Amino acid sequence: MEIIKKSFGKEANLFILKNDKGTELAVSDQGARIVSLKVLVDGKLRETVLGFDSAEEYSEKDPYIGSSVGRFAGRIKNGKFSIDGKEYQVTVDPETGHNLHGGYGFDKYIWQSAEQVEDDRVSVIFTLESKAGDEGFPGNLSVSVKYSLTNENEWVVHYSAKTDEATIYNPTNHVYFNLTGDPSQAIDEHVLQMNANRYVEVDGDVIPTGKLVDVKGTIFDFTTGKQMSELFAGVASEASGIDGLDHPFLLTEDAPQVTLTSPDKKVTVEMTTDSPSVVVFTANFGENGPAMRGTKLADHGGITMETQVPPGVTDYPEWGSVVLRPDEAFEQETVFKVVVEE
């Protein structure tokens, strides 16, 4: 196992982590992001995630792809939340009036980095200090995300954080999978299975309505795997008008909670998390997909598994808690295991 460090353009670095199976995980300190995850399939390396070739491209085209999102992943309605009865106003997007992914968030910063080689894994630990008042959020927040690649072909994402004042923290990783290795191919023939019995209804602005819906009998039932094309064919009937998935699903504890299989059935990603929900976004970019790796990202050219407390929790506290207090240590872990059919 080894780690190779290279320049990624701008002030950014790329770290390529390799395991004994020939798997290569590339991560960057720009946005503490995953850039690439390649596995050997029939003797050739196959890409499994979306990404660009340089830090500049991320800045210009889409800084969220593969990044660590914070302080709050997803939307905070009107940028308002309260802690212990005190109301806070964070920055809002002037077009939507809501805060998305923390505003000028963690995806846009160059993080500090440290490499670690252990017997069974190679890791890069990224850290960032977010000052009190950053985008309107209270508390000096020290965050870290550790990415490891194990010899079992697991990409382990471990978040930690500490604050000096009560604040909210709800991070995620914004990886998009496309298991064909070709971003110009829609994920239509991928099969998705999720141990999720309920999803969060959202409106046309992707704001949770407050309703948790039983998946049974709906197109959102992935409890027994189904092809994404079935979902895309069915969304026309959806009130939100969202052309695909952009919804939080409430997970059960049965791991792996999510599995995604490539059209040729040779690659499966198994996701296991200690988060209560996953936001699944199917890159509903229509014709506006960016140029990527020498081609153009297809509409529905990727699928995220954003593990977190469901957005909307700031308005519906019964969905969980994202409050972090000075005497607490935030810890959260999600494992993406890539299984290649031999």
CB of 24 closer than 8 Å to CB of 15? no
Task: Tell me the pairing of strands 154-163 and 141-150.
Answer: antiparallel
- Of the pair 204, 326, the CB lying nearest ligand GAL is at 204
CB contact set of 9 (below 8 Å; sequence gap of 6+): 54, 55, 56
CA distance 89 to 317: 17
CA distance 303 to 279: 10
261-274 CB burial, b ≥16 within 10 A, e <16: bbbeebbbbbbbbe
Phi/psi for 67 (5° steps) reads -85, 170
Report the nearest approach of ligand GAL to the CB of residue 172 (Å).
8
CB of 200 closer than 8 Å to CB of 315? no
Report the nearest approach of ligand GAL to the CB of residue 1 (Å).
32
CB of 171 closer than 8 Å to CB of 142? no
Report the nearest approach of ligand GAL to the CB of residue 69 (Å).
7
Report the nearest approach of ligand GAL to the CB of residue 240 (Å).
11
Report the nearest approach of ligand GAL to the CB of residue 106 (Å).
14
CA distance 142 to 122: 23
CA distance 49 to 123: 19
CA distance 37 to 45: 9
The residue of the chain with the least Cβ separation from ligand GAL equals 281
| Token reading at 41 | 């399939």
* Cα angle, residue 318 at apex, residues 69 and 197 outer, rounded to 5°: 75
- Of the pair 61, 80, the CB lying nearest ligand GAL is at 61
CB of 154 closer than 8 Å to CB of 132? no
**Which of the 8 DSSP states describes residue 75?**
E
- Of the pair 246, 333, the CB lying nearest ligand GAL is at 246
Q: Has 98 been annotated as catalytic?
A: no
Q: Which residue ranges make up the site for ligand GAL (CB under 6 A)?
A: 64, 74, 100, 206, 246, 279, 281, 306
- Of the pair 38, 247, the CB lying nearest ligand GAL is at 247
- Of the pair 91, 142, the CB lying nearest ligand GAL is at 91
**Which of the 8 DSSP states describes residue 55?**
H
Q: Has 101 been annotated as catalytic?
A: no
- Of the pair 153, 314, the CB lying nearest ligand GAL is at 314
Query: Across-strand partners of 338?
Result: 269
Query: Looking at 135, 154, 201, 306, which residue is catalytic?
Result: 306
Residue type, 112: Q
Report the nearest approach of ligand GAL to the CB of residue 164 (Å).
28
Query: Looking at 174, 190, 247, 300, which residue is catalytic?
Result: 174
- Of the pair 157, 279, the CB lying nearest ligand GAL is at 279
Phi/psi for 196 (5° steps) reads -140, 120
Report the nearest approach of ligand GAL to the CB of residue 206 (Å).
5
Catalytic residues: 174, 306
